[in-house]
Amino acid sequence: MTAQIIDGKAFAGDLRAKVAAMVPAFRAKAGRAPGLAVVLVGEDPASQVYVRNKHKMTIEAGMESFEHRLPADTSQDALIALVHQLNADPSVDGILVQLPLPRQIDESAVLAAIDPDKDVDGFHVVNVGRLSTGMAGYVPCTPLGCVMLLKDRLGDLSGKDAVVIGRSNIVGKPMAQLLLAENCTVTVAHSRTANLPEVVRRADIVVAAVGRPEMVKGDWIKPGAIVIDVGINRVPGAGPGKTKLVGDVDFAEAVEVAGAITPVPGGVGPMTIAVLLRNTLVAAHRLAGVPYEK
Ligand code: NDP
């Protein structure tokens, strides 16, 4: 059996198109476009690529993009002052501070300064609390994108055995909360989990968010399981100096066993920005008092 390939790139493209299609009606009602502010501190090359793509796709969706690029030696106070300014700016609906931040800045202090109602990344403790107590808030983009792909494939997730490998605040923990909210029976595995292959073998749904290239092997997967690979790992490619991207799952092996699987690249990765735009549109509606109709 060969797994179906879950085309996250196409799904994300559709989601961005849906968001873009809703922007004109919002503009007509609110008298302005939804606005997303992205703050980049320093010159981390990967972050620069992400910020560039976010800007491009925000504009393509018909929204306002406010980019703030600050030097690597920016102080924590200066960054927090900018966040306060964006909190107060009525043309800004969503605020995203690109992580990681330079060493002199305490990430948690900066995230705590963002108005939770503009926290479209869903990292503020208020939104973490809202997610875990079932209140409306903002959910981190990557795990929300994973749930959208799962529901598109499976419909109702009730009663499924789900194993999430990884317990980071950005992916693993919110992923587990979202699956719990979908009535899955959730196991969260991590670096201290005993007998990980055995634990994964129970799962109808496997979400790998580890950051270790091709760690999850084909014989860890229950036949027919749905595999969502969040990992993005750059490894040596064919030929000198060449590199390629691989996930946390050994795709060549897992594709022979799973019922469906996300590829890397082209699976979960493209979902993140699409969900960010969706979260920004939702924030704009809430802040402007315009009902959001999906
Ligand atoms: P973190 O490094 O923050 O977390 C990794 C998690 O994996 C930790 O909980 C760690 O356990 C666990 N882990 C590490 N080694 C093992 C092991 N041998 N067995 C079991 N568990 C292990 O990473 P992130 O959550 O931020 O990211 C995970 C991956 O997802 C990365 O490849 C990242 O690039 C990718 N990513 C992709 C995104 C996208 O598609 N847009 C967005 C965000 C991330 P412990 O807690 O015990 O240390």
Residue 242 is among the residues annotated as catalytic for this protein: no
CB 219 within 8 A of CB 229: no
Mean pLDDT of the residues in the chain: 97
Over residues 56-114, the pLDDT tens digits come to 999 999 999 999 999 999 999 999 999 999 999 999 999 999 999 999 999 999 999 99
Q: Whose CA is nearest to atom 48 of ligand 1?
A: 191
Over residues 120-152, the pLDDT tens digits come to 999 999 999 999 999 999 999 999 999 999 999
Q: Whose CA is nearest to atom 19 of ligand 1?
A: 191
Asked whether the domain spanning 141-271 has the same topology as the one spanning 31-118, the reply is: yes
Q: For ligand 1, say whether the CB of 211 is within 6 Å of any of its atoms.
A: yes
CB 222 within 8 A of CB 197: no
Structure ipTM: 0.99
Whether 293 shows a pLDDT value over 90: the answer reads no
pTM assigned to the model: 0.97
Whether 1 shows a pLDDT value over 90: the answer reads no
Over residues 252-292, the pLDDT tens digits come to 999 999 999 999 999 999 999 999 999 999 999 999 999 99
Q: Which CATH number fits domain 141-271: 3.40.50.620, 3.40.50.720, 1.10.10.10, 1.20.1050.10?
A: 3.40.50.720
Domain boundaries, the chain: 31-118, 141-271
Q: For ligand 1, say whether the CB of 230 is within 6 Å of any of its atoms.
A: yes
Whether 294 shows a pLDDT value over 80: the answer reads no
- Percent of the chain at pLDDT > 90 equals 99
Quick one: angle between helices 141-154 and 271-288, nearest 10?
100
**Which CATH code for domain 31-118?**
3.40.50.10860
How many Å apart are CA 165 and CA 230, to the nearest integer?
Answer: 10
Q: What pLDDT shows up at residue 29?
A: 97
